[in-house]
Amino acid sequence: MAGAAPPKRQDTRKFFENLSGEGKSIAVLTSGGDAQGMNAAVRAVVRMGIYVGAKVYFIHEGYQGMVDGGDNIKEATWESVSSMLQVGGTVIGSARCKEFRTHEGRLKAAHNLVQRGITNLCVIGGDGSLTGANLFREEWSGLLDELLQQGLINEEAVRSNSVLHIVGMVGSIDNDFCGTDMTIGTDSALHRIIEVVDAIMTTAQSHQRTFVLEVMGRHCGYLALVSALACGADWVFIPEMPPEDGWEDSMCQKLSEVTHTTQYFNTHS
């Protein structure tokens, strides 16, 4: 965090010894669609933050909690992230927040952070959440100036909170974020799909039926494609490669030749 260069292998130990969060405050939030693994990410932020001596805050209910402030922003302890590593969803809550898309909403959020001296923000979310975080970072100094003009904060607060550092952790089951090998939640989602396919296969075989399985993904076919490969599906429909005209006939022809077929769609969002 805070612009520290990544350590070389032999320097790793020294790097961690020298890493200090003394006097810093970090806040962590989960935003947008939930993904298995978000809790593990929250836990890692809290425990590492406390380990290096920083004050760590939860922001409950995503950006909504940051805009509303109050009890939504609470200090975290080492124990407050116990027993959540394996739990799905996000225990600190997620939300979609219209207000944060507005300048007024982001101004309120900045005020809530400055009041607590939080200048390090870890956002665990998808494309939208991370776009919002980046916008907030870019606007930060302008927001502080506005708060100063409105008399809500003083010059000392502007000076001591002058830069907002953000870290984005990609929480998305779609594995659709450039530069990230595997996004948080993708592996668990694939695992769950294969469990479901295994369960369906026995019924398909018993009744010589064809099953159609729809998976999540909206505009991204990653889950459909990879799980179709893993379970040997006969057909896969993905948005990146829409079917050609007349696909209905060729699919019916193929299905009349084989039984026990599982097919995939990923139009669900």
Query: Would you tell me which residues interact with ligand ADP (CB under 6 A)?
Result: 31-33, 63, 96-97, 100-101, 125-129, 131-132, 135
CB neighbour list of residue 185: distance below 8 Å, 6 or more residues apart: 35, 36, 37, 38, 171, 172, 173
Euclidean distance between CA atoms 57 and 77, whole angstroms: 9
Closer residue to ligand ADP, CB minimum distance, 21 or 32: 32
Between CA 233 and CA 241, with CA 236 as vertex, the angle to 5 degrees is 155
Shortest distance (Å) from residue 208 CB to ligand ADP: 40
Report residue 132 CA to chain centroid gap: 13
Describe the strand order of the beta sheet including 262-268 as a list of residue ranges: 211-216, 262-268, 235-236
* CA dist., res. 41 & res. 180, Å (int): 15
Residue nearest to ligand ADP (CB): 128
Look up 198 and say whether it is catalytic: no
Tokens 């695992």 found at: 191
Closest distance between ligand ADP and the C-beta of residue 146, in Å? 17
Task: Give the separation between CA 1 and CA 11, rounded to whole angstroms.
Answer: 17
Q: Which of 34, 68, 71, 174 is catalytic?
A: 174
Question: Shortest approach of ligand ADP to residue 254 CB, angstroms?
Answer: 36
| Closer to ligand ADP by Cβ: residue 96 or 116 | 96
In whole angstroms, the minimum distance from the beta carbon of 269 to ligand ADP comes to 11
Give 95's contacts (C-beta < 8 A, 6+ positions apart): 31, 61, 62, 63, 64, 65
Least distance to ligand ADP, CB of residue 129, Å:
3
Residue whose CB is less far from ligand ADP, 74 or 96: 96
Alpha-carbon distance of 91 to 151, in angstroms, equals 36
* CB neighbour list of residue 70: distance below 8 Å, 6 or more residues apart: none
CB closer to ligand ADP out of 216 and 231: 216
Kindly tell me which of 69 and 128 has the beta carbon lying closer to ligand ADP: 128
Residues with catalytic annotation?
Answer: 174
